Chains A and B, each alone.
Chain A
Amino acid sequence: MADPANTKLGRMLLDEITPVVMVLRTPLVEESCRKNGLSLIEMLAPFSNFNNIDVPVRTASDQPYRLRKFRLRLFYGSEVRQPNIEAAKERLKQVITFSGDKDISELCSDPPDIESLIATSKQELVPSWFQNFNKELIDVVAFSEHEAFDHPVACLVAVSSKDKDPIDKFVDLFNTNQLPPLLNDGAMDPKILKYFLLVHDNQDGMLEKASGILTEMRSTFGANDCRLLCINTSADGTEEHQGTLWASYKNSISNNKQYGCFLNADDIEELRSTMHDFSSKHIIPHMELKIRVLNQQISATRRGFRNQIRNLWWRKGKDDAPENANGPMYTFSSIESQIRVLGDYAFMLRDYELALSNYRLISTDYKLDKAWKHYAGVQEMMGLTYFMLDQSRKDAEYCMENAFTTYLKMGPSGGRNATRCGIWWAEMLKARDEFKDAAGVYFRISGEEPLHSAVMLEQASYCFLLSTPTMLRKYGFHLVLSGDLYRKCDQTKHAIRTYRGALSVFKGTTWSRIRDHVHFHIGRWYASLGMFDEAIKHVLEVLACGHQTKATQELFLRDFFQIIQETGKTYEVLRLQLPVINFPLIKVVFEDHRTYASTAAASVRESLWQSLEEDMIPSLSVMKTNWLESQQKVLPKKYKESNVCVAGEAIKVEISFRNPLQIPISISNVSLICKHSAEFDETESDANGFSIDHQNDKELRAVSNSGEFSLDTSLFTLSEIDISMRGGETILVQLTVTPKIEGSLKVVGVRWKLSGSVVGICNFNSDIIRKKVTKRKKKPKQPVKDNLQFLVIKSLPRLEGVVDNFPKTVYAGDLRRLTLELRNPSKISVKNLKMKISHPRYLIIADQEVMNSEFPTCLRKQESSSESCTQVDAARAASSLFVFPETTAISSETPLKWPLWFRAAAAGSISLYITVYYEMEDESSVITYRTLRMHYNLEVLPSLEVSFQTSPCSSKLQEFLVRMDVINRTSSETFQIHQLSCVGDQWELVLLQPMESVSSLKLLMAGQALSCFFKLKNRRTRQSTEENTFLATSGRADVKLVDGDSTGLYDTYISPFILFHHHERVHQEKQEQGHGGTVDFILISESRSGSDAGVASKSPIWWLIDGPRSVRHDFSAAFCEINLSMTVYNSSEDVVSVRVLTLDYTPAINSATSAASGSGNEVGWHDISHVSEIKVTSDVTGVRAGKAPPSTDSVSPFIWSGTSSTRLNLEPLSSAQVPLQICVFSPGTFDLSNYILYWNLVSSGGHDADGPKVSSGTCQGHSYHIAVLQKE
């Protein structure tokens, strides 16, 4: 380590622990000095500091040494006392405030990077005013009685030559009344060295008089102790001095006055020689003398073994003395005081060895006396002496710590001393590069006084920063602590400064809670200082604090808006974090030659459309052969990459906003930022060195008015959207920009307004590109679609297409006629329309004549139906590309309507894609053709499920039996089966049952099933044997299953049927191949919704039998018992009494009254032809094997074995279960319809006047089939 005297602490000690000279003067002296703008002390101060005094000093030892640096501290007599605490506090505060004001300019700059912070040297780092502050703190405890180094060594008595009776004045000045308490109360020797100075103002002339007084003085006070000082020799007051002479000693604020203007060079020389004389000839010899005297005295009384013992003995005896709070009072004459004075004098004269030995001697005494303050003071000095001797670091530290803790132990009275001791201690540690320990000391100094603590904590934090290894986190933490305290004392500027320092620590870390706290408070404090730009910058950092609690988020947001409000300006903030934009979700939809009918169509994958349009649009190679044609068609090469869009057509950009907070926020005026350049050349140059706005550099800017907008509106229009977001919500926003003029357009970014006060801007370009760079490594080819650069070409016709009344949900098999409507809003007409549909199984194009005819009657059989057309249709069906007739060039205002056939082929959800191709009449355009893409989603619900079983008829070779099972799978719909047709010329279909018996049944309720039997004849082979007339009469391949005349039959040979059949066939062949010789049937049914209501009105109850449908039982063992349950539901508003009556005979009696009376007899299983029946069933599946022989007698093959009659009351709109049981004696299939439900309304209180209500009724049982089989 370097010389301790050159360290900071060393210099400090050499400055502070120096002899004190008490100055007494008359008012006239002061007046003379004031002419120069200086007090007497101030005037003398520069000359009481000697850098090279070179005085030989001989203290206790006989070896003299030379003193180089020396300094006197001058104080007025009135100042030599313990300073007023309150005044000192005020002064400290001033120091801090003053330095705070000075720093304000730095507050605007960015906080330094943490790495650079470490690199900076400590001088730069630690604010310089700390030194001033520490000095002020030390001065607070000056002139305490227990330390001798602040006791005046000498007294300088100054009297002006203008004073009357100067000699008396000299005596008067040293009057005890005005002397400081130290001298009066006996803490120090009142007999101190006096030096008499006669100050003469040369402006007053009368030098003779002054010299007269001097001689008088000399005779009175002694020749050596008197001196004449002449000042103000310069008459005009224009003397110039080096500004530094007084500047460093004068700390008052008024700097404008020229100090020492009346002092010429002679005066200054005289001042210098006076002070030099005073110190070298009087003070130093005096001190030397005193040291020698005291040393001898002490050696006599205290040194040596005998004296030690005696001293101990004597001290012991004093133990009983009552303890004073401050310990015993030591007067100047006591041996303890003298030792202390000796030590301090030796210290001041740099004889540290002597000082140390004396301090050691006295320290034990004080300790034994329990004079803690004195003890601590001595320990402190010992520590400093050790330091100055640069030996035994441990001892030095031990002494300092001892002193520090002793001061603290004394309670509040020692606090200030402890502070001083701590500052010295910390400085000592710092001088030895033990910064960590120094920080600990600073931390301990910080006491109750918040302002002191703040400064101390800040100093501690810098120590942490300077320590090795650097303790950054502690640095930050202590800065935050200190900042809080500064803020408590209203030192906002200091608070900001410390927090900014802390911010550099927390900036890059993930300790978000701390970081938010720091940012938020800095922001607030800036706002309180009125520096709103900075405030907003910091508060912005914490806005997107999703991790904080809701209350905190609200607080942050509220304060943010408050700050914004206070500024009264609208701010534009780049990268506003609220709401967050999810970048990968930005999607751009634009239309070049591809146009979309709906947004749903736009979201479909491009490859899907491309495959659909493959053979429709002219291929690229065709385009390229056109190079001879017209040059302007070829795009500038630059724009091969950029997208083409059409003027007047909107570009849609989808952006997803996410609210990271838990509290709702409202966003308004969301719109895109676009850049339009009208000319091609300009953009080309622009595209090379793309320098967008300079907004990147500026994070924040205030906009006065949206002046730039008005310019832009002529080039393009933007859509504006207002949204409000709930907490944590993500909203997809679609924004559009519509260019109006040809040129090039670039979507630069998006802007929005948060809560109507802050404008947020997000620049896509910079952010996306940044992301792309990382992405590009993996995926070199970027989809062109993401590019936000557009080439705007002049407006083109754009067809708008819609399919009218396209159903959302349909039942399977539903056949509808739809209308495609194409509209061309522009003036330019289009031509060469083509259309393609993705799923011809569902949707086909009809003939235009269909438009005019009525549906579905147009499908009915016409008398003059020609079979030849079927072949044409089939051919057309083969190709899915439909070319509109040449005439259908649509121009503006006349929409083209074209019918479509729709059939829901299979259940499930299906997406239909329709694309329409058209060409421009205007050949000159860049784009010669466009496609309109339409997309529809629909849900197909299951409806009728039809299955057929054919088996060859055994009786006739060319005939087949066909069983058709139809089940209604819907939940509510009712269908009427209308017609069954088979496709092809060679087939003939005949119903096996009589028409009447079937027809009424064909109303299929929800969930109902139905079976029908048909006979199928192959006509092709029969044709040779039978007459042609038969063909005509028995119809062809159609069987009508509904009442009515034969004209109601649908013609299955006309376009929709035959086409759909074709596609269905194609579809099925794809699924299962190699299935020759099939017959295709077409079942036509009509929806009859609403018939449910009709049934319900007749009877308030309905019921359901639940039980096994097939049972296997070994009849050789016993008869079979089957348990069933009936659920009865009361759908009326009244309580209904229901009686279930089971009958063991077929109820024929009620057929006339029953609701389902028409079917009463026919319900269930009927054998039509005994012989064929059995054979068919056995042939087909065997499921119905063992059909019971028809019951000719009244005894049924089963009996109801449970209670034959059950009565129950049903609450309104409730259901109940009735257990049923049957006994079966032989295997077979049984119809359990032979029961009756009688019902009557019990509580018919509400008999209305408008008509008698049916209050009772009888219901015939539903058919319920159960198959009982012999168990093998």
Chain B
Amino acid sequence: MSAAAQGTSKAAHGDVAPKKKKGPGALATAYLVIYNVVMTAGWLVIAVGLVRAYLARGSYHGLYYSIEKPLKFFQTGALLEVLHCAVGIVPSSVVLTGFQVMSRVFLTWAVTHSVREVQSEDSVLLFVTAWTVTEIIRYSFYTFSLLNHLPYLIKWARYTFFIVLYPMGVSGELLTIYAALPYVQKTGLYSVTLPNKYNFSFDYYTFLILVMISYIPLFPQLYFHMMRQRKKVLGHADDYSKVE
């Protein structure tokens, strides 16, 4: 090898200007703050509803009915987040966000709402509780971030609570889908059989089983991604001040 060559002048750092990420404008920021505040409030309503219903009944059973409507409303409302990514006011991937929101909406409507018999299952409470705590933290995190006043506590909570809430939510979801299976098979819910003029068939029972199986490769990936994010964000705790 020859002695260190000069290299072309272009090899110097700073020659390629970093792509400047266009953040949301003032109007978009105001809208997003309102959106995230409303969502935080909505999930707080669900949390309070769960607690009040528990205190009133004295048992964990059947609490779904006390928060059914706000749950449907606010979870479905999260579809707007896909739009936010598509329009560019939020820097996340449309595909990833779409996938995450669709899976929630799927569980809310296509499983829990559609199969009445599972609504009284305890597994529903399990995932609803996990979602509620997660979303309250997540939406307040976004709210404070947009206002540039993120308390360390919220950041810490966002990147720590998932360690328990994620498996909790996944367990609740899987158990609920599993509980729905016999009813779907019996009634042929959302299923299409041959013959028909579109020459198409769909077996919702098999589809639900495939959905359950898909958790096996997907859940660990998402979980470990969050773990890596946690190390990255909280790892340099000494770089950030406790407040702001």
- Do chains A and B interact in one complex? no
Interface residues of B (CB under 8 A from A): none
Interface residues of A (CB under 8 A from B): none
